[in-house]
């Protein structure tokens, strides 16, 4: 959901009474197109549409979030007042470029995972999902998370309340057993509890206590394999979701993909995403 107050906040940064650059042109009806200059996965069309609606610009959406666009393909056709189109231009292009970059980057990670498994290997094997983290830009997290989804990834937690997360600092302050006991006592049955583990022994303890998810943090692929083997031997592997994070990059992603975990979460899908080159051209004025 996109709120009017959000659109107004974005526009407020640019729109001023002494906006000479946009007011140079006379107010007249124009046609325009927004197009991509490189192949990408599209994201951000919903917020673009919300801006167009607010600015009373008519539009036709040619690409939806999650679609693949080739260089030169049109994302939107527009018709509206020239001044309004110019004022909306940079805000819309910024969102489309940034979010499509995240979606495209996420899709690249997903593709590496898919390529790590041959069709014959998929039967009975765990193929992990790529997930985002909460290392996102304050104020536009929900859009960045949506872009990860558009690229084929998992959004992970949207906020601190989504899942009860017992991290290393909780454990340092309270100890694992006490932290988990308090979390269990205060948490509704509708929510999952996730525990961060740095060692296979810590992961085993978390599984024995009944954690729903265990985050294997900054473990090598070999250490994760050992942890999965231990949990399997203890008949606990199928009772927990295993997530790996930390030190995972495109270069070593395949080795982590085959460790037997369920989720690979990376801040890189959002933080290392290059912006996609997207432009707006006025076609004609009336």
Least confident of 98-107, 114-123, 218-227, 230-239: 114-123
By the 10 Å C-beta count (0-12 exposed, 13-18 middle, 19+ buried), 262 is classed as middle
Mean pLDDT of 182-193: 94
Closest C-alpha among 233, 228, 231 to residue 244: 228
Query: Per-residue DSSP letters for 45-86?
Result: HHHHHHHHHHTT-EEEESS-TT-EE-TT-EEEEEEEEHHHHH
Query: Domains (ranges, CATH) in the chain?
Result: 4-109+273-285 (3.90.1170.20), 120-271 (3.20.20.70)
pLDDT digits (tens, 9 = 90+) for 93-112: 999 999 999 999 999 999 99
* Catalytic-role residue among 129, 135, 142, 254: 135
Determine whether 135 is an active site residue: yes
Distance between CA atoms of residues 133 and 246, nearest Å? 11
Closest C-alpha among 7, 103, 102 to residue 56: 7
Mean pLDDT of 53-61: 97
pLDDT at 126: 72
- 120, pLDDT greater than 50: no
Distance between CA atoms of residues 255 and 72, nearest Å? 36
């Amino acid at each position: 959901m996109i709120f009017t107050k959000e659109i107004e906040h974005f526009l407020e940064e640019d729109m001023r009474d002494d906006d000479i650059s946009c007011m140079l042109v006379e107010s007249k009806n124009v046609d325009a197109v927004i197009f991509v200059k490189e192949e990408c996965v599209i994201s951000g069309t919903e917020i673009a549409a919300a801006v167009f609606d607010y600015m009373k610009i008519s539009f036709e959406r040619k690409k939806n979030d999650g679609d693949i666009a080739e260089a030169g393909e049109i994302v939107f056709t527009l018709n509206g007042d020239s001044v309004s189109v110019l004022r909306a231009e940079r805000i819309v292009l910024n969102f489309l470029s940034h979010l499509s970059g995240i979606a495209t980057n996420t899709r690249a990670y997903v593709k590496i995972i898919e390529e790590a498994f041959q069709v014959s290997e998929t039967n009975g094997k765990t193929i992990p999902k790529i997930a985002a983290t909460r290392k996102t830009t304050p104020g536009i997290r929900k859009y960045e998370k949506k872009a990860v989804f558009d690229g084929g990834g998992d959004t992970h937690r949207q906020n601190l309340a989504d899942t009860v997360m017992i991290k290393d600092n909780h454990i340092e302050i309270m100890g694992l057993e006490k932290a988990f006991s308090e979390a269990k006592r205060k948490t509704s049955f509708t929510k999952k509890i996730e525990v961060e583990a740095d060692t296979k022994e810590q992961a085993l303890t978390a599984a024995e206590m009944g954690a729903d998810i265990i985050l294997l943090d900054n473990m090598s692929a070999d250490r994760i394999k050992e942890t999965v083997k231990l949990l399997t031997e203890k008949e606990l592997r199928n009772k927990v979701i295993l997530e790996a994070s930390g030190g995972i990059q495109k270069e070593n992603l395949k080795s982590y993909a085959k460790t037997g975990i369920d989720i690979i979460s990376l801040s890189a899908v959002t933080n290392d995403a290059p912006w996609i080159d997207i432009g707006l051209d006025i076609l004609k004025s009336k």
